[in-house]
Amino acid sequence: MDFANKNVALFIDADNAPAKKIEFILSELAKFGTINIRKIYGDWKNHGLQGWEDILMDNALKPVQQFAYTKSKNATDMAMTIDVMDILHENKVDVFCLVSSDSDFTPLVMRLRHEGKVVIGFGEQKTPKSLVQACSRFLYLDGENTNQNHTGMSKKSSNELKQDAKLMNLLRHAISEAQNEKGWASLSSVGSIIKNQSSFDSKNYGYKQLSDLVKAIDLFEVQLNDSHYIIKNKKNKKSPKNSANT
């Protein structure tokens, strides 16, 4: 999808998101289009939200006051859900972004995906897998080196990547799906296949691009072919010479 002229709506659950990560959130989200709607929800009488309150104006965030009417149900969740559905029905937004670690938003995300919308999620490592997997893409906010490498996560070593069975299975399957008769696959095609199957993002492993990630794993042959990367499993014994275009 070409995100150049896409309209983006940002919804932040202030109770379940760290204010210090706003710069990272906005910079990543800007890659998906223009952020025309920026709403943040919480009980602003709660002193625990002071961190967010201090940066509202600088980041053009519109605060939405939500009082805790009952202790059994999160009023913020309900308010966000209602607003998201209202905007969905207006059909003016292409990309929805939810910043929260609360699994209660999973059905909402699934509905947005069902309507053909792109959903970007941001949350902490504690975020339940149900919400992570429901999103088109999900980025973690509690990496140690967020401010240093701008990826949101500390960079995982080659050994750590190799031991990640889910990651390795995703990569190997995508390569096998996209490869030509010589075993080579376009890395962009591999990335597209992976993202269609999961909320994968190389930044969650500490790498800005998929090409950096697969090079770090060191189990694949990676070559630059006509300005784009191609990849092949090193277990493939065929010669890498004269690799065909994919």
Question: Using one digit for the tens of pLDDT, what is the confidence trace for 63-109?
Answer: 999 876 655 457 788 899 999 999 999 999 999 999 999 999 999 99
pLDDT at 148: 42
Q: What is the predicted pLDDT for the residue at 71? A: 55
pLDDT single digits (tens) 142-201: 864 444 444 446 788 888 898 888 888 889 888 988 899 888 999 988 888 887 766 677
Residue 1 pLDDT: 54
Sorted by where each begins, the domain ranges of the chain are 7-142, 158-233
Q: What angle do CA 63, 89, 34 make, to 5 degrees?
A: 55
Predicted pLDDT at 149: 45
* Residue 240, pLDDT score: 44
Among candidates 166, 138, 163, 150, which has minimal Cα distance to 207?
Answer: 150
- pLDDT tens-place string over residues 28-45: 898 899 999 999 999 888
* Averaged pLDDT for residues 38-62: 92
Architecture of the domain whose range is 158-233: 2-Layer Sandwich (3.30)
HSE-CB at 102 with a 13 A cutoff on CA atoms is 21
pLDDT of 235:
64
Cα separation, 22 vs 147, in Å, equals 11
Tell me if residue 211 falls in helix, strand or coil.
helix
Choice between 64 and 226, residue whose per-residue pLDDT is larger? 64
**How much is the pLDDT for 147?**
46
pLDDT recorded at residue 242: 47
- Asked whether 150 and 208 are in contact (CB, 8 A), the reply is yes
What's residue 12's pLDDT?
96
- Residue 20 tokens, joined: 């210090």
So what's the pLDDT on residue 72? 45
- The packing angle between helices 187-197 and 165-178, to 10°, is 120
The pLDDT value recorded for residue 135 is 94
| Superfamily per CATH, domain 7-142 | 5'-nuclease (3.40.50.1010)
Instruction: Read off the pTM.
Output: 0.67
Mean pLDDT, the chain, rounded, equals: 85
- For residue 96, what are the CA distances in angstroms to 122, 201, 245? 11, 17, 36
